[in-house]
């Protein structure tokens, strides 16, 4: 099931996305919240009539860096021995179709297409064999990075945490099992030209190991997001560019880069 979060006429809700093709998609509005038992209301709205929001409201976004060997190599970095985590604030979120505002303190903005894992229940110290039980679903993410700031500053809070640095969406796909999620095609295009093409099978640390690693340190809550790393091919974004992240079996997350007003 594809679960979207949306706004229409000033109201915000969740809905199940049904149908195929851009003109045939509708939302069946959900009664309740998607992390608990819920019912479909039967009230359906064309997807074209709503604004898609980031599909979840996480308490935290945990991102893992250098989880693809070729990406680490292209930036001249060594591969870490263990998963390498950092945090992005929830204020960095934007949804599919929203603008990414080029930060005024950077002159080198990069795209990073990633599979995002959405947590479905409160959990801590998750055993590896139970990782699949705490996953609600998967969505597309773009770990937008001010690369010059990342190089210049010793920590990544500003480089990866500015407003708009975490496009997420268009919805959460709940129908993918863990084995399949560890073997999905990830690609990124800029203005229709392919920049990144990889597979989650290339991850150094698979999804279950990332969940084990971060849940050893902190409690994960329903709606929390884990970014699993990006394949090789990251590159520059300029004002006016349209960047799209497509993940097999999920969908496409599209955003346009604009100048800060």
CA–CA–CA angle 22, 223, 161 (5° rounding): 85
- For the entire predicted model, the pTM comes to 0.96
Q: What is the pLDDT of residues 6-35, one digit of tens each?
A: 999 989 999 999 998 767 899 999 998 898
- E strand intervals along 56-206: 61-65, 84-88, 93-94, 99-102, 109-111, 113-119, 135-142, 145-146, 166-173, 185-190, 193-199
User: Which tokens hold the place of 181?
Assistant: 């999620």
CATH class of 61-259: alpha beta
Residue pair 132/119 in contact (Cβ under 8 Å)? The answer is no
Distance between CA 114 and CA 228 in Å, rounded? Answer: 6
| Band of pLDDT at residue 114, cut at 50, 70 and 90 | very high
pLDDT for 80 equals 83
Number of CB atoms found within 10 A of residue 192's CB: 7
Q: Phi-psi bin for 234: left (phi > 0), alpha (psi -120 to 50), beta? A: beta
Q: What is the pLDDT of residues 216-227, one digit of tens each?
A: 999 999 999 999
User: Which tokens hold the place of 189?
Assistant: 């295009």
Where does the chain hold its CATH 2.30.30.370 domain(s)?
2-52
pLDDT for 17 equals 96
Q: In what order do the strands lie in the sheet with 185-190?
A: 99-102, 251-259, 242-247, 185-190, 193-199
Q: Which of 110, 58, 125, 119 is closest to 87 using CA atoms? A: 58
Where does the chain hold its CATH 3.90.850.10 domain(s)?
61-259
Distance of CA 254 to the CA centre of its chain: 12
Least confident of 1-15, 51-65, 67-81, 165-179: 67-81
Distance between CA 180 and CA 176 in Å, rounded? Answer: 6
Can you name the CATH fold of 2-52?
A: SH3 type barrels. (2.30.30)
SS3 assignment, position 112: coil
Q: What is the pLDDT of residues 136-181, one digit of tens each?
A: 999 999 999 999 999 999 899 999 999 999 999 999 999 999 999 9
Distance between CA 82 and CA 209 in Å, rounded? Answer: 10
């Amino acid at each position: 099931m594809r679960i979207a979060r949306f706004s229409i006429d000033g109201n915000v809700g969740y809905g199940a996305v049904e149908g195929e093709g851009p003109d045939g998609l509708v939302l069946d509005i959900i009664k309740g919240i998607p992390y608990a038992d819920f019912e479909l209301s039967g009230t359906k709205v064309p997807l074209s009539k709503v604004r898609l929001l980031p599909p979840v409201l996480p308490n935290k976004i945990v991102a893992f860096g250098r989880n693809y060997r070729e990406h680490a190599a292209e930036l001249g970095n060594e591969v870490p021995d263990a998963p390498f985590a950092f945090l992005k604030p929830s204020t960095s979120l934007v949804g599919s179709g929203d603008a990414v505002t080029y930060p005024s303190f950077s002159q080198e903005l990069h795209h990073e297409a990633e599979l995002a894992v959405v947590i479905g229940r409160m959990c801590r110290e998750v055993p590896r064999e139970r990782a699949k039980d705490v996953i609600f679903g998967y969505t597309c993410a773009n770990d937008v990075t001010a690369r010059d700031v990342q190089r210049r500053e010793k920590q990544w809070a500003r480089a990866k945490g500015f407003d708009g640095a975490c496009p997420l969406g268009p919805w959460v796909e709940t129908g993918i099992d863990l084995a399949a999620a560890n073997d999905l095609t990830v690609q990124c295009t800029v203005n229709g030209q392919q920049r990144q093409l990889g597979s989650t099978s290339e991850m150094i640390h698979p999804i279950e190991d990332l969940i084990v690693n971060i849940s050893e340190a902190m409690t994960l809550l329903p709606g929390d997001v884990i970014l699993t790393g990006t394949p090789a091919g990251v590159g520059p974004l300029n004002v006016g560019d349209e960047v799209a992240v497509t993940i097999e079996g999920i969908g496409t997350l599209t955003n346009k880069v604009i100048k800060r007003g």
